Amino acid sequence: MAPFKAESINFKQHSILKPQRSPATRQTIELPMNHKKRPECLPLPVPVVLEQDQILTLRDKTKIRADVYRLTSSQKVPAILMWDPLSRYEDFERFDPAESVPSGYATINTDSRDVGNSDDNLRFWGTSESQDGYNVVEKIAKLPWYKRKVGMTRES
């Protein structure tokens, strides 16, 4: 792409490249009691199942990734869905599983379209993100541990 000038500012154009990320590793891990993601994080007061890099397929076949934190029992629980364009593993300004899971909620941290290991490109200024969120709630409703309610929140 050719550089261009607007007023007194020189611009260089670059094609859009997604940053290199480590490949997604879909797995289920039991995190033991007292596990901490980082030293400053709260310890888990109970064992927690982490379903990492789960694939949720949207209406247009785009695959987004999610991490699900839930109780180790087969108890059905409501879900708290973290839905925003920020990476799901960056920090826990979000609902911390050390608080939400022992309180009886599954916590689902998603990578929306074009974030982390999710597919496609982020779409601004339209209804696409709300439609994606709707699709994700519908997918959650079909999970075996799900109990009739989804709350949605975001980090920023």
33: CATH = 3.40.50.1820
More confident residue, 11 or 110: 110
64 part of a folded domain: yes
**Structural domains counted in the chain:** 1
106 part of a folded domain: yes
**pLDDT reported for residue 9:** 81
6 part of a folded domain: no
92 part of a folded domain: yes
Assign 149 to helix, strand or coil: strand
- Read off the pLDDT of residues 97-141 as tens digits, 9 standing for 90 and up: 888 899 999 999 888 877 777 777 666 667 888 888 899 999 999
**pLDDT reported for residue 86:** 64
54 part of a folded domain: yes
Entry pTM? 0.78
11 part of a folded domain: no
33 part of a folded domain: yes
Range of the domain at 107: 21-153
- The residues with which 51 forms a beta bridge, in sequence order, are 28, 68
Does 11 have pLDDT greater than 60?
Answer: yes
Single-letter amino acid code for the residue at 115 = V
- Read off the pLDDT of residues 39-76 as tens digits, 9 standing for 90 and up: 888 899 999 999 998 999 999 998 988 999 999 988 89
Does 17 have pLDDT greater than 60?
Answer: no
Please state, in angstroms and rounded to a whole number, the distance separating the CA atoms of residues 128 and 154. Answer: 17
30 part of a folded domain: yes
Q: What is the DSSP annotation of 52-111?
A: EEEEEE-TTS-EEEEEEEEESS---EEEEEE-SSS-TTS-SSS--HHHHTTTT-EEEEEE
